[in-house]
Amino acid sequence: MIELEPIVLPSRRATRRLAAALAPLLVPSDIVWLEGDLGAGKTFFARGLLRALGVPESIPVTSPTFAIVHEHEGRVPIRHLDLYRLGDAGELDELGLAEALEGTVAVIEWGRRLRGAIGERGIELVLEAPASGPGRLVRVRGVDARGRAIVDSLARATSLR
């Protein structure tokens, strides 16, 4: 796995900017894993990413905590998942969740526990609120070769700013 140096996101705007830099690099079958504690900013990042993928402002992008998966249409089909409430890989199978991700960009909150059952691929962002002070910290890494290529492009895109 390649991992970037932790990136400081001093403001919501900085978070949205990172999401906007990531969006054009994604194609169907890519997975974006969003990890971090409650309130770390996973859903906020997902909203910025989905907007940048072309989901119009008129469509709310909310936490899929209870529905587990929200389907969206941007320039590509998108699935936004929150697996916090999901029991185990058996439940994943029952709901046909892994299959439902085929041909879509998947944005998955709280997915690490079930990554083996879904697919060890894509890019992972671990968000963190610093103990004191505003903003967030994010650690970005590629899970597989494709994920590492995305991280590489993202690093290049963000350092051009």
Contact status, residue 50 vs residue 63, Cβ threshold 8 Å = no
Contact flags string 94-113 toward Mg ion, x per CB under 5 A: ---------------x----
Piece of 57-65, 71-79, 94-102, 135-143 that binds Mg ion (CB under 5 A)? 57-65
Of 64-103, binders to ligand ADP (CB under 6 A) are none
Size of the residue set binding ligand ADP (CB under 6 A): 18
Which helix (H) or strand (E) element contains residue 7?
strand 7-9
Regarding 42 and contact with ligand ADP (CB under 6 A), the answer is yes
Structure tokens at 29: 């079958």
Nearest Cα residue to 8 out of 111, 112, 136: 136
Which residue of 24, 73, 134, 156 would you call a contact of ligand ADP, by CB under 6 A? 134
DSSP-derived 3-state class of residue 113: helix
Structure tokens at 110: 């709280």
Q: From the list Mg ion, ligand ADP, none, pick the one residue 12 interacts with, judged by a Cβ distance below 5 to 8 Å according to partner type.
A: ligand ADP
* CA end-to-end distance (rounded Å), the chain: 25
Enumerate binding residues for ligand ADP (CB under 6 A): 9, 11-12, 14-15, 36, 38-44, 63, 109, 134-136
